[in-house]
Structure 1
């Protein structure tokens, strides 16, 4: 008799994959050793953008990017992926500086500029409105390239 299909459940820290060991001990959660997808995709796209912007015959020494707080990117993970991705290439040895850009919003009701204490709600401390307009803290911007040989 055919087993009914089980519903798909994503594997997250709150919902890990459990591997049964068929012994007396309970199954232990298994966490995949894969790279964080968001940081990997952004960092690899950044590398392609750097290659496009790099002048011919120039050697990249350092890349500076600004990362908005709402992007939820881990700068240490980005730097690890950067180094692993450029190893053995013409960019090998280039540094990556990640400058965080804090979240700033303007209240749509009273016009106050503020840094929200809760990114999910963005409640205005002056009037209590929840109609924010984001001023800063989103996006990933290639700020500058430090090169030699130009």
Structure 2
């Protein structure tokens, strides 16, 4: 084994997890499961805006689980901040997901009180969001250990 590879493995083993990361993962599963079931059953109570928020919450919870498992936190909880933290913690792993994740921020710009705006997605956009959340879940499962 190369010295540099051994160093990286040793370094990862010494990372101190932040308590509660498993709960974040479980909550992400719950949000995503609710969104998938509601979309598949075409429940009228679940508008595109509500489904979008469930997907965004699922992704946020999955990201937080991965980051906390590796002993780090994002600067904030916008998709931009979550993507930045994931890219720092898992370099090169978000290549396929990055653009879709950043796209999610366009529906709610709520950090600036003067520029506050919410514009829900069309229902036709929800399937790709569900796929995105599923891919994030798979990535996170790959990056955390449940031992």
TM-score of the superposed pair, with normalisation by structure 2: 0.25
Flag the structure with higher strand content: 1
Greater fraction of residues in helix: 2
Tell me which structure has the larger Cα radius of gyration.
1
- Give the TM-score normalised by structure 1: 0.24
